[in-house]
Chains A and B, each alone.
Chain A
Amino acid sequence: MTSSLLLSITTFVYLFCTVLYLSGLLFHYGRLLTAGTLAGLAALVIQMAGVILRWVESYQLGYGHAPLSNLYESLVFASWAIMLIYLIFEWRTKQRTIGVFPAFFAFLAMAYASFSTGIDSKIQPLVPALKSNWLIAHVITCFLGYAAFAVSFGLSILYLMRKASPDNPKPKSGILSALPDARQLEMFNYQMILFGFLWLSVGIITGSVWANSAWGKYWSWDPKETWSLITWLIYAALLHARNMQGWKGQRVALLSMIGFGCVLFTYFGVNFLLSGLHSYAR
């Protein structure tokens, strides 16, 4: 049993999980949704085993570092975090109908990590800049934030679909009728954004403290730093507008989607299009 086998299995279980959630929603069949949850849980466990095994393997190779050091490993962790946050959300809210998007994003992240020719899945030794205990804290916190924003992105899409349906607020049939009502979706979305904002803040701060201990500057306007700040500003604007100005509904959903666009650019765009201190993340 190797970590790469387990992670390959994970990819397919996520795909299966997405299909289950989608068909449960399409056919209004609760058992399919329950099966989706079980598949998601299974994927989460298999993936975690894969990640731990990869950690062990890195020690066997003599490198010995947490599997959070390059694009491949971060994608694996991102998909895991999305599923984890979604399942906790599902458990807390007892809502199974919104699992399609998180499951699909988790699958996409794994598929991209596994099948893209540009991504090296080999275990590599740590470059000197990454040899720090801050690595684990920084990567985990950032990706918890990113994952929450991914779930929020899914919620925003569902919210907008729900709002746009002609027989809002109570659709009589179709996919949308199985969804929670728009007010609930809005509330869930807000909770998710606040959760993401908290972790993004922790992520930026841990990165900043790390930068100060490694380079002597807690902020150097490196493109990755700057884009994380842009993301933070967008979500901060969203929270202020919602709480103080009473922006609810569509505008918050749209801002959340723009915010997630910034997350994606911070994650991928900066790596591929801009250069800076985070060049090892390629």
Chain B
Amino acid sequence: MSKEKSFLEKALDALASLKLTLFVFFTLAAASIIGTLLPQGTSTAEMQGQFSPTIISIIDQLGLNNLYHTSWFMVLLLLLCLNLLVCTLDRLPKTIKLLKRQEETFDSRKLSKFSYSASFTTGLSAEEARGLLHGAVADSFGPLHELKSEGAYCAVNEKGRWSRLMVYGVHASVLLVLLGALAGSRLGFEGFMNLPEGATSGEVIMTGGHSFIDLPFKVRCDKFEVSLYDTGAPKEYRSDLTIVEDGREVLKQSILVNDPLTYKGVTFYQASYGATLKDAEIELKERDSGKTITMTLPYQENRTIPGTDEQIRIAEYQENLMRFGPALGLVLGKVGQDANSGSYILVDHPEFHGNRVQNYQVRVLKTTKSHYTGLQVRRDPGVWLVYLGFILMLVGIGLTFYSSHNKIWACIEPGTSGTGALVSIAGRSSRNTPGFAESFEELSRRLTDQLKPEKMKEVQKKK
């Protein structure tokens, strides 16, 4: 048998080590600091002016502008999980063994080795001293149970053994939270939808804006309302929503910022709002004939121009086009075909010569705006795991704070001179709380008193 540890054992030792724990803690902290100082989600192109090219290339290489989603950050979290797992597998069996062990014998010579210990000589007989000792310990800590011991009477009081398990609860809670986060990011989605008043949609644009998904039902915004305080500060944002499934209205609910709507695992949060175009009244003047047509165009809907085979649509609305104010993006084409030409029409500059599409000079007579509500849409099947982790963490840390594994030993040996007795006590606490120290001192004082103070040999407290 060689004493050399195999590679696997060494790796496991390293994974279970406290050094790794501290390394991960400090590295995560340092990375997070960078993440808060450097604006996240800004592209390196946007940073050109701010930093030197070298720094920008470092930012780019390490992905520091999207730090919390980089693979190296994930590796750190994975290391944390492995550290917790290996550590638990390493220690939990030992702890359980320790918890199951019933102390039956005791060697009175061990007493002085504990962090709290005291001994007293007394002129009382061993039996008298035993009665006093039991009473005193029971008052300060709890009843004593006798242990087998050679040449002495020994007894122990023990409390809060289970508190040694709490730390495993806290560690498991961290794993649960991270597992829940993983489940959420893999199985859930997160996006938004901007719904104008009156509009119905089931299309959610994913965060990042590169893709969208279709919900198995639709949402209609019946009304959006902002109410203000007298001071002009916003008081409440409210959207009245209706869920429409298979053409039927299945749920009607108003949502507020702190009060979302959930339907079939998908939750809609009031996130933002804005104004958008509802419709516009326009005048079309045929340039050849000078004939004018006036019509009202709903936003993003095709309308046939009366007396022609052409259709027209407001495809886009710009609040401020190249600083010329609001503009309609009009497109025109044959009915039933794709639009073949388009142009921006300036709303506030009716005489602008560029206000035309094909053969029509266009003038915007009136625009009507409507509100849209900005909804954050999210499905997170991992959230219950995260919450479970939260509860476990609070219970674990709370009980770690409010409990400890305390043990008090007491021994009585016959006096050296043949009469009287030597009484010793010792204590150990998994967390040296002021409460424990105080109780121990109180017990020592009481024993000093009761076991005849004039015969006290030594009262000492170590450490």
Interface residues of A (CB under 8 A from B): 63, 92-93, 124-125, 127-129, 131-132, 134, 183, 187-188, 191, 194-195, 197-198, 201-202, 205, 208-209, 212-219, 221, 223, 226-227, 229-230, 233-234, 236-237, 240-241, 244-245, 270, 274
Q: Chain A residues with Cβ under 8 A from B434's Cβ?
A: 92-93, 187-188, 191
Partner of A191, one of B267, B377, B433: B433
Partner of B269, one of A197, A216, A233: A216
23 pairs, A vs B, C-beta closer than 8 Å: A92-B435, A125-B235, A127-B233, A128-B256, A131-B236, A131-B256, A188-B434, A194-B400, A194-B401, A194-B431, A201-B393, A209-B387, A216-B267, A218-B383, A218-B386, A219-B181, A221-B68, A233-B25, A237-B25, A240-B18, A241-B22, A244-B18, A245-B18
A217 to B394, CA, bound (A): 20
Q: Chain B residues with Cβ under 8 A from A226's Cβ?
A: 32, 35-36
Name the residue on A nearest B398 (C-beta): A198
Q: Shortest CB–CB separation between residue B33 and chain A, in angstroms?
A: 6
Name the residue on A nearest B377 (C-beta): A216
Determine if B394 and A125 form an interchain contact, defined as CB atoms under 8 angstroms apart.
no
B7 at the interface (CB under 8 A from A): no
Q: A221-B40, A240-B21 are in contact. Are A229 and B401 (CB under 8 A)?
A: no
Q: A93-B434, A237-B22, A237-B25 are in contact. Are A270 and B258 (CB under 8 A)?
A: no
Name the residue on B nearest A245 (C-beta): B18
Q: Chain B residues with Cβ under 8 A from A229's Cβ?
A: 32
Q: 1/0 contact trace for B34-47 toward A, CB 8 Å?
A: 01110010000000
Determine if B28 and A233 form an interchain contact, defined as CB atoms under 8 angstroms apart.
yes
Determine if A127 and B234 form an interchain contact, defined as CB atoms under 8 angstroms apart.
yes
B29 at the interface (CB under 8 A from A): yes
Determine if A216 and B378 form an interchain contact, defined as CB atoms under 8 angstroms apart.
yes
Q: Chain A residues with Cβ under 8 A from B234's Cβ?
A: 127-128
Name the residue on A nearest B67 (C-beta): A221
Q: Chain B residues with Cβ under 8 A from A205's Cβ?
A: 390, 393-394
Q: Shortest CB–CB separation between residue B49 and chain A, in angstroms?
A: 19
Q: Shortest CB–CB separation between residue A32 and chain B, in angstroms?
A: 24
Q: Chain B residues with Cβ under 8 A from A128's Cβ?
A: 234-237, 256-258, 270
Q: Shortest CB–CB separation between residue A151 and chain B, in angstroms?
A: 14
Determine if B386 and A223 form an interchain contact, defined as CB atoms under 8 angstroms apart.
no
A202 to B391, CA, bound (A): 10
Partner of B29, one of A187, A201, A216, A234: A234
Q: 1/0 contact trace for B432-453 toward A, CB 8 Å?
A: 1111010000000000000000
Determine if A214 and B258 form an interchain contact, defined as CB atoms under 8 angstroms apart.
yes
Partner of A201, one of B26, B383, B386, B397: B397
Q: Chain B residues with Cβ under 8 A from A234's Cβ?
A: 25, 29
Q: Chain A residues with Cβ under 8 A from B32's Cβ?
A: 226-227, 229-230, 233
Q: 8 closest A-B pairs (Cβ-Cβ)? A: A216-B378, A132-B258, A237-B25, A128-B257, A223-B36, A233-B29, A216-B269, A125-B229
B333 at the interface (CB under 8 A from A): no
Q: Shortest CB–CB separation between residue A147 and chain B, in angstroms?
A: 16
Partner of A227, one of B26, B36, B237: B36
Q: Chain B residues with Cβ under 8 A from A215's Cβ?
A: 269, 271, 376
A188 to B437, CA, bound (A): 12
Determine if B432 and A236 form an interchain contact, defined as CB atoms under 8 angstroms apart.
no
Q: 8 Å CB contacts to A: which residues of B363-384?
A: 376-378, 380, 383
B291 at the interface (CB under 8 A from A): no
Determine if B260 and A213 form an interchain contact, defined as CB atoms under 8 angstroms apart.
yes
Q: Chain A residues with Cβ under 8 A from B400's Cβ?
A: 194
A129 to B260, CA, bound (A): 12
A58 to B46, CA, bound (A): 45
Determine if B29 and A230 form an interchain contact, defined as CB atoms under 8 angstroms apart.
yes
Determine if B269 and A183 form an interchain contact, defined as CB atoms under 8 angstroms apart.
no
Q: A128-B257, A227-B36 are in contact. Are A197 and B181 (CB under 8 A)?
A: no
Q: Chain A residues with Cβ under 8 A from B435's Cβ?
A: 92
Name the residue on B nearest A221 (C-beta): B68
Q: 1/0 contact trace for B307-332 toward A, CB 8 Å?
A: 00000000000000000000000000
Determine if A129 and B258 form an interchain contact, defined as CB atoms under 8 angstroms apart.
yes
Q: 8 Å CB contacts to A: which residues of B211-231?
A: 229, 231
Q: A128-B236, A183-B463, A230-B32 are in contact. Are A212 and B383 (CB under 8 A)?
A: yes
B190 at the interface (CB under 8 A from A): yes
Name the residue on B nearest A197 (C-beta): B397
Name the residue on A nearest B389 (C-beta): A205
Given A127-B234, A194-B400, A216-B260, 10 other A-B contacts at CB below 8 A? A128-B236, A129-B258, A197-B397, A198-B398, A201-B393, A209-B387, A215-B269, A221-B35, A226-B35, A236-B25
Determine if B231 and A125 form an interchain contact, defined as CB atoms under 8 angstroms apart.
yes
A268 to B37, CA, bound (A): 14
Q: Shortest CB–CB separation between residue B92 and chain A, in angstroms?
A: 15
Name the residue on B nearest A227 (C-beta): B36
